[in-house]
Structure 1
Amino acid sequence: MTKEKIGEVIVVEGRDDLIAVKKAVEAQVIITQGLGLSPKTVALIQEAQKRCGVIVFTDPDGPGERIRRWITEAVPGVKHAFLPLSQAREARKVGIEHASTDDIRQALLQVRSPGQASAGFTREDMRNWKLEGSPEAAWRRQALGERLGMGHANAKQFLQRLNHFAISRAEVEEALAKIGEKPCQEK
């Protein structure tokens, strides 16, 4: 089986992430060294963005989200790939390196790009869709984020992502219909 070739440079946190990505796809990869993102590495990412584009593919945890935000601020226009937490978990560890080759490949094929047009989602939309202010809001954001390929986030970040990636209202409503309601927990 031939590996999918990715034209953009993929930014990951560490060496083990690089190895996992290289097993899944053929691509150039830059390592941030986790939260130790240096000015030299940022400059390298900026140059890669100018040359061929960048996909940020960090771990689905707090440090990974922080790194994603730093890169997004420093390098406008980067694309984003998200791996659901459930696919990046091994025992008590979380990271891209713990995901299967197929899950990594799938995440990199569902890349989200910043868009020009936005549906103009609001906090009212978030409340109406039970993505904020509801006991099941966190579960619904996680399920919707997985279905839309935009990762899990708190309500404020989720709203920003919906608008940033120019996701259509129809796309959100179709995905919400498919996730339905949270299954009842057995007592």
Structure 2
Amino acid sequence: MIHVDQAVVVEGKYDKIKLSSILDAVILTTDGFGIFNNKEKTALIRMIAKKSGLIVITDSDGGGRMIRNFIRNICAGLPVKHLYIPQIKGKEKRKISPSKEGYLGVEGMPKEQLITLFGQTGITYTHQDKDFSVKKPFLTKTLLYADGLSGAAGAVRRREALAQKMGLPKDLSTAALTEAVNLLFTEEEYENALNEIYVEKEGILP
């Protein structure tokens, strides 16, 4: 298992699954071209780029280049490293037919080749014991409910207050706020922010 400090951005869930088998890292997906119209995902990627830096690895076809350029534009001036997989003709096992341009995507790359790619491009990383794993998300639906951030009167205003306290866009959806908090903050930081808005926002939090 390779640990990298930067967050890694890939196109889809199968790319994420593949990289999760070799990397100890925060891995985000663009949901293919879905990111083009997803302001919440765009904001989240920018926030993570500012905090930890990004590594972008997309497919080697035209679609991958479009997504890569989009991230380059939204993260202009931020620490972003681009990795490029080779153009290899082939088809992933789960697919009935090859992609439009006929190249293997990130999910189709051999693990050894991906490990070599990370090692040859100047990214600082460390090998960890196989039992080392990324911290598990602490903010769950159950905790949101228990903390009055979901399923209760005033939950929307509470989430907005929490988002502002943590420096996040206040109009994030519940799912986006949960993802952002889990990726960007520790449980202690979350609890401190929650306690502060309980004290500061009289009438918003009982």
Q: TM-score range by the shorter chain?
A: 0.5 to 0.7
Q: Which residue of 2 aligns with 1:157?
A: none
When residues 53 and 78 of structure 1 are mapped into structure 2, their CA distance, relative to the original with a 3 A threshold, is: same
SS in 1 for 2:21: helix
Structure 1 unaligned blocks of 5 or more: 114-187
Residues 71-86 of structure 1 aligned to structure 2 (within 5 Å): 71-76=71-76, 77-86=79-88
Does the alignment pair 1:10 with 2:8? yes
Q: Which residue of 2 aligns with 1:185?
A: none
Q: Which amino acid aligns with 1:78?
A: V
SS in 2 for 1:60: coil
For the residues of structure 2 that align with 1:90 and 1:7, how far apart are their CA atoms? 31
Q: Deviations over 1:75-120 (max 9, x none)?
A: 023111111012x73262431001111111222233479xxxxxxx
Structure 2 unaligned blocks of 5 or more: 93-97, 124-206
**TM-score for the superposition, normalised by structure 2:** 0.50
SS in 2 for 1:90: coil
Q: Which amino acid aligns with 2:110?
A: S
SS in 2 for 1:85: coil
Equivalent pair of 1:9/1:29 in contact (CA under 8 Å)? yes
Equivalent pair of 1:55/1:111 in contact (CA under 8 Å)? no
User: Identity of aligned pairs, percent?
Assistant: 29
The RMSD of aligned alpha carbons is 1.8
Q: Which residue of 2 aligns with 1:32?
A: 30
When residues 108 and 28 of structure 1 are mapped into structure 2, their CA distance, relative to the original with a 3 A threshold, is: same
For the residues of structure 2 that align with 1:67 and 1:108, how far apart are their CA atoms? 20
Q: Kindly name which structure, 1 or 2, has the bigger radius of gyration based on alpha carbons.
A: 2
**TM-score for the superposition, normalised by structure 1:** 0.55
Q: Which residue of 2 aligns with 1:158?
A: none
When residues 82 and 112 of structure 1 are mapped into structure 2, their CA distance, relative to the original with a 3 A threshold, is: farther
Q: Which residue of 2 aligns with 1:176?
A: none
When residues 4 and 112 of structure 1 are mapped into structure 2, their CA distance, relative to the original with a 3 A threshold, is: closer
When residues 79 and 36 of structure 1 are mapped into structure 2, their CA distance, relative to the original with a 3 A threshold, is: same
- The Cα shift of 1:11 comes to 0.2
For the residues of structure 1 that align with 2:91 and 2:21, how far apart are their CA atoms? 18
- How many residues matched? 110
For the residues of structure 2 that align with 1:51 and 1:7, how far apart are their CA atoms? 10
Residues 13-162 of structure 1 aligned to structure 2 (within 5 Å): 13-37=11-35, 38-76=38-76, 77-86=79-88, 89-90=90-91, 92-93=98-99, 94-111=104-121
